[in-house]
């Protein structure tokens, strides 16, 4: 059986384009060009039935290495903790105060984009420190 070579991470949200653009800023991703025959995503959305306009958005890694992120509009709001979350790996290889300083600097940048800091999980005998955060619609993620 062949192995899977790519994955897509899907987010349920209220405002797909807004959340996609937030994650583009977090990860250095981009919104891909609109489908063939359309100059802009607004042109594409205007071609859809009104109930489908703005129903989804996409963010992709411009290097082609990271997974595609897909954002789909859903009618209900978030009601419980995520069962799956992203770890944004900004402190890889760093330890102690150097790691904490890197995490705190990135946390400040993301808070300025609209993220919410939940708490710092301090290093213990098994794990390095990380910061638990929420994106602009309350989806949990970690700065790791």
Q: pTM for the whole thing?
A: 0.89
* Percent with pLDDT over 70 in the chain: 99
61-100 pLDDT tens trace? 999 999 999 999 998 888 888 888 999 999 999 988 999 9
pLDDT (0 to 100) of residue 18: 96
Mean pLDDT, rounded, of the chain: 93
- How far, CA to CA in Å, does 34 sit from each of 43, 59, 67, 110, 141? 9, 12, 19, 27, 28
CA distances for 38 relative to 21, 33, 42, angstroms:
20, 9, 9
Q: Give residue 125's pLDDT band: very low, low, confident or very high (50, 70, 90).
A: confident
């Amino acid at each position: 059986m062949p192995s899977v070579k790519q994955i897509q991470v899907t987010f349920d949200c209220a405002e797909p384009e807004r959340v996609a653009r937030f994650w583009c800023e977090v990860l250095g991703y981009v919104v891909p060009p609109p489908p063939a025959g359309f100059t802009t995503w607004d042109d594409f959305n205007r071609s859809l039935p009104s109930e489908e306009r703005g129903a989804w958005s996409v963010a992709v890694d411009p290097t082609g290495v990271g997974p595609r992120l897909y954002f789909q509009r859903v009618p209900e709001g978030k009601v419980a903790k995520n069962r799956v979350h992203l770890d944004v790996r900004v402190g890889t290889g760093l330890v102690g105060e150097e790691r904490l300083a890197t995490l705190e600097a990135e946390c400040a940048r993301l808070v300025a984009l609209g993220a919410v800091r939940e708490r710092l999980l301090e290093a213990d005998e098994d794990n390095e420190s990380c910061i638990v955060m929420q994106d602009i619609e309350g989806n949990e993620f970690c700065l790791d």
